[in-house]
Amino acid sequence: MKTTEATVLDESKIHEPTAVAVVEPAIESRPRPTTGVKEAKIYIDGKFYSEANAKVSVLDHGLLYGDGIFEGIRFYNGRVFRLEEHLNRLWDSARSICLEIPMTMRDMTEAVLDTIRQNRLRDGYIRLLVTRGVGNLGLNPAECKYPSVIIIAATIALYHESFYRKGLTIVTCATRRSNPAALNPAVKSLNYLNNVMARIEANLAGADEALMLNDAGNVAECTADNVFIIKRGQIFTPPITAGALRGITRGIVFEIAGELGIKISEIDITRHDVFVADECFLTGTVAEIVPVVKADGRLIGNGKPGPITTRTIARFREMTRETGTPIFAES
Ligand SMILES: Cc1ncc(COP(=O)(O)O)c(C=O)c1O
């Protein structure tokens, strides 16, 4: 084969660093996204650190293997929304993966509230992680003796208000939701690559979210949200066994449906059911309740957020404004 100019090796250059490596700034000095909080304080194992100094070991299995669990929690108007439910789910995730959370639920509640106070926020988002902790390079969690607790407070607004008025577009992705027998989606683990792969597909397709199916070809959930459809005045959502997280917001939709006297059922849902639905919406702590108006190029209903979705959103917003665990004594 003829050797081209580009492939000829100049041996005198082999040990020289490349120009890119020399001029590239250190990671610390690169511009990067932040929590959005001025002088943020991040909780790690009982102490608060500035954002620049909040660090974990490269030997933490949370980093090496995605071995750990997390919760995403919202607080509104000086109150943490559904904190107890989030902590119960965190403890369930921990139990499922044999991870011992190194503090009581009461102390965790106080740590969450204290982190929000330290960051002087009344509205925002908490990311609470428990990592397996430092071990060796082998994956055996038995080597990790001390799990780490990290709590990050951030400001948040995922979707612009116009999305709630106009609705989202979703596409079905080829990436299947993890089979519960392999890695149960009911565990909110630090291993989100399955969801990330689906999110990449949505990005490449120019859609707002990816609809993930399970191995049977039924709807499981979206990358960070549960899925609901409405047909002839009734609400339907896939059961947890279809491969969905037991979403806290999902549970609230059941409460609201009860209050409004709307029948709601867990049932296997196909893509066809989504295409012919009168309405569709997604639920999640970050997204809250957001209408979907197009799936795989088909308009859902008349292509506008429907009446049941709109009523459910309105009631949900009332609940977020009026309920929750007070952060400050005066709340
Ligand atoms: C995969 C997945 N499904 C659903 C949800 C919605 O759950 P929740 O309403 O508790 O935020 C989330 C968000 O946490 C998620 O990550």
* Residues 172 and 138 occupy one common structural domain: no
* Residues 140 and 54 occupy one common structural domain: yes
Alpha-carbon span 63 to 55, nearest angstrom: 12
Ligand 1 centroid to residue 29 C-alpha, Å: 33
Q: What are phi and psi of 259, to 5 degrees?
A: -60, -40
* Residues 132 and 165 occupy one common structural domain: no
68 touches ligand 1 (CB under 6 Å): no
72 touches ligand 1 (CB under 6 Å): yes
Residue 1 lies in a domain: no
Residue 310 lies in a domain: yes
222 touches ligand 1 (CB under 6 Å): no
* Residues 269 and 288 occupy one common structural domain: yes
Q: What are phi and psi of 305, to 5 degrees?
A: -55, 130
Q: What is the pLDDT of residue 108?
A: 98
> Residue 250 CA: which ligand 1 atom is closest?
9
Helices and strands, number each (H, E), in the chain: 9, 16
* Residues 65 and 122 occupy one common structural domain: yes
Q: What is the pLDDT of residue 5?
A: 43
* Active-site pick, 2, 55, 145, 188: 188
* Residues 181 and 309 occupy one common structural domain: yes
Whether 188 is catalytic is: yes
Alpha-carbon span 60 to 137, nearest angstrom: 9
Domain span at residue 189 reads: 161-322
213 touches ligand 1 (CB under 6 Å): no
Q: What is the pLDDT of residue 331?
A: 45
Q: What is the pLDDT of residue 31?
A: 64
pLDDT in tens, 149-159: 999 999 976 67
* Residues 148 and 177 occupy one common structural domain: no
* Residues 208 and 269 occupy one common structural domain: yes
Domain count, the chain: 2
Residue 288 burial (CB count, 10 A): 21
93 touches ligand 1 (CB under 6 Å): no
> Residue 285 CA: which ligand 1 atom is closest?
11
Q: What is the pLDDT of residue 161?
A: 85
Collapsing DSSP states into helix, strand and coil, what is residue 329? coil
pLDDT in tens, 103-122: 999 999 999 999 999 999 99
Show the low-confidence residues of the chain (pLDDT under 70).
1-32, 157-158, 330-331
Q: Which one of 125, 154, 183 terminates a domain?
A: 154
Alpha-carbon span 319 to 259, nearest angstrom: 12
Residues 58-78 as b/e (b if ≥16 CB within 10 A, e otherwise) read eebbbbbbebbbbbbbbbbeb
The single residue listed with the structure tokens 């709590």 is 151
* Residues 72 and 100 occupy one common structural domain: yes
Residue 107 lies in a domain: yes
* Residues 232 and 140 occupy one common structural domain: no
* Residues 290 and 207 occupy one common structural domain: yes
Three-state SS for 8-40 is CCCHHHCCCCCHHHHHCCCHHHCCCCCCCCCCC
